[in-house]
Amino acid sequence: MSTVVRDLLSRPSGAIGLFLVVLHLLLAIVAPFVAPFDYREVDSLLMLKAPGPVHWLGNDHLGRDTFSRTLLGGREALLVTGIATPIAVIWGGFVGIFVGLSGGRVDDVLMRIVDAFLSLPWILKMLVLIVTFGTSVGVLVPTLAFFYGIPVIRVARAATHDVVARDFIEAAKARGHNKLSIIWHELFPNVRDALLVEGAMRWSWMLLAFSSLSFLGFGVSPPTPDWGLMIADARGFMSFAPWGVLAPVIALSSLIIGINLTADALAKALGIDRVQKAPI
């Protein structure tokens, strides 16, 4: 692992990406202690005030400090997606490995179900559940984990197909090992790297999905600061107060770019071909 980390940091994209990710994680932890203003503090005299020496990024349409709200805006997204991403990778990875090992009718039936889910727009599928059960963390985490775990199945299945025909798998079967034993001891160590890279990519897409839901009004509820919600609130004032949109857009973009750069460098360090197609 230390060799992989050194290889990742030796690549400019990896070093920059990891720096951005770590920076956002640290800011999410310390933001409540370093934010200069209360994110709920409303001042009608400061409505849409331009950036200045006191309010560095100006104020929103309610007079709240944009800098403080931007600092705090990633906490909920990082919390929800930070829990949902490993769950998605674990359950999707296990099912994909199991399907790749089983083959035959099990493979055909389950992959057709996966194809059916992937053929529908993700936003419609998630909105159905969120509108039905609410927008709490207890709903958002399993919803994101379920729908973003489905594409992981295809990746894990493709990686398993590259391993399952090797001699040590046949030897494990000959020794009488059951499927769970083969998955844990033989297959998982050989597809782990692909799942790590896929997990990083799913994290970035999940962050975008979470922010999109907040933008549409189905994520974080006001007055909790969230980048997607901040963009939705400020988009009507872009022509004369663009800082309300630019601040959360830059914050969200820098985090997404950081995760993608890190994932790309990690894939190269691990020798993973991200453009390899999964077998049908």
Q: Is the pLDDT of residue 18 over 80?
A: yes
Are the CB atoms for 221 and 31 separated by under 8 Å?
no
Cα 121 off chain centre by: 17
Summarised one tens digit per residue, pLDDT across range 183-220 is: 887 888 889 888 999 999 999 999 999 999 999 888 88
Query: Distance between CA atoms of 32 and 90, rounded to whole angstroms?
Result: 32
Query: Distance between CA atoms of 2 and 15, rounded to whole angstroms?
Result: 15
pLDDT at 162: 81
Residue 48 has φ and ψ, to the nearest 5°, of 55, 30
* Residue 25 CB burial class (10 angstroms; 0-12, 13-18, ≥19): middle
| Neighbouring residues of 86: CB distance < 8 A, sequence distance ≥ 6 | 199
Summarised one tens digit per residue, pLDDT across range 135-189 is: 788 889 999 999 999 999 999 998 898 888 787 887 877 787 787 888 887 888 8
Confidence of residue 280 (pLDDT cuts 50, 70, 90): very low
Query: Distance between CA atoms of 21 and 208, rounded to whole angstroms?
Result: 15
Give pTM, 2 decimals.
0.89
Are the CB atoms for 211 and 230 separated by under 8 Å?
no
Q: What ranges do the domains of the chain cover? A: 2-39+48-270
Q: CA-based Rg of the chain, rounded to a whole angstrom?
A: 22
Closest to 25 measured CA to CA, from 270, 248, 254:
254
Summarised one tens digit per residue, pLDDT across range 213-246 is: 999 888 888 888 999 999 999 998 988 889 999 9
Class (C level, CATH) for 2-39+48-270: mainly alpha
Written as one letter, the residue type at 208 is: L
Query: Distance between CA atoms of 209 and 230, rounded to whole angstroms?
Result: 15
Written as one letter, the residue type at 184 is: W
pLDDT at 116: 87
Confidence of residue 277 (pLDDT cuts 50, 70, 90): very low
Query: Distance between CA atoms of 274 and 158, rounded to whole angstroms?
Result: 11
Q: Is the pLDDT of residue 113 over 50?
A: yes
Question: What's the token pair of residue 55?
Answer: 């309010």
Summarised one tens digit per residue, pLDDT across range 37-59 is: 999 999 988 999 999 999 999 99
* Residue 21 CB burial class (10 angstroms; 0-12, 13-18, ≥19): buried
- Where residue 64 falls (left for φ over 0; alpha for ψ -120 to 50; beta otherwise) is beta
Confidence of residue 279 (pLDDT cuts 50, 70, 90): very low
